[in-house]
């Protein structure tokens, strides 16, 4: 299956709701996920609190652990390095990007419980955040939480220079 990894110029960085996201890069089985396909995968719940402009916000998020999504796609890791020289770049439809080291996610190394969340406080996510968003528990602010996921891509080597 051919998967486009760069947004088309007419829709690039406009932000807003997306009905799907792609998982690509150094994985054996690139995939496109939508609300239905994501809902069929095993879910976890994370209770998180982060600071906002109006004070602390607490929510219970449900979703698929990012590590589990990557292993389902057959992430290609170097077994002697536990993904220490690999990273995951997550991009929203507004081109907001976050980079996570694969070692942070690997349960044998960092074990961070990063979620590809599709629910909040018992309800599906809505158009304000997209059908799925990234939640990084433990962050003081939600700066690494991506709304409107467009692409999740696995790379090796040094991260790109912005």
Confidence (pLDDT) at 76: 84
Confidence (pLDDT) at 9: 45
Residue 18: closest CA among 153, 151, 150, 152 = 150
Furthest C-alpha separation in the chain: 45
Would you say residue 1 has pLDDT above 60? no
The pTM for the full model equals 0.86
Q: What is the pLDDT of residues 5-40, one digit of tens each?
A: 444 445 578 888 889 999 999 999 999 999 999 999
Q: Which residues are CB-contacts of 1 (< 8 A; sequence separation ≥ 6)?
A: 30
Q: What is the pLDDT of residues 48-99, one digit of tens each?
A: 998 988 999 999 999 999 999 999 999 987 666 655 688 999 999 999 999 9
Q: What is the pLDDT of residues 101-151, one digit of tens each?
A: 998 999 988 889 999 999 999 999 988 889 999 999 988 888 888 989 999
User: Can you say how many angstroms the Cα of residue 108 is from the centroid of all Cα atoms in its chain?
Assistant: 19
Domains of the chain: 20-156 (3.90.420.10)
Confidence (pLDDT) at 2: 43
120 pairs with which residues across the strands?
61, 123
């Amino acid at each position: 299956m051919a998967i486009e990894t760069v947004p088309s110029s007419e829709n690039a960085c406009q932000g807003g709701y997306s009905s799907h996201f792609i998982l690509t890069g150094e994985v054996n089985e690139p995939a496109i996920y939508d609300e239905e396909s994501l809902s069929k995968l095993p879910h976890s719940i994370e209770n998180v609190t982060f600071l906002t402009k109006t004070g602390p916000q607490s929510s219970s998020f449900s979703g698929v652990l990012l590590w589990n999504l990557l292993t389902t796609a057959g992430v290609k890791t170097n077994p002697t390095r536990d993904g220490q020289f690999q990273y995951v770049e997550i991009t929203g439809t507004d081109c907001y990007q976050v980079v996570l080291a694969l070692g942070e996610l690997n349960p044998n190394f960092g074990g961070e419980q990063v979620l590809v969340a599709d629910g909040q406080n018992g309800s599906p996510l809505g158009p304000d955040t997209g059908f799925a968003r990234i939640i990084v528990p433990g962050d003081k602010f939600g700066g690494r939480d991506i709304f409107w996921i467009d692409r999740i891509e696995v790379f090796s080597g040094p991260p790109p220079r912005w």
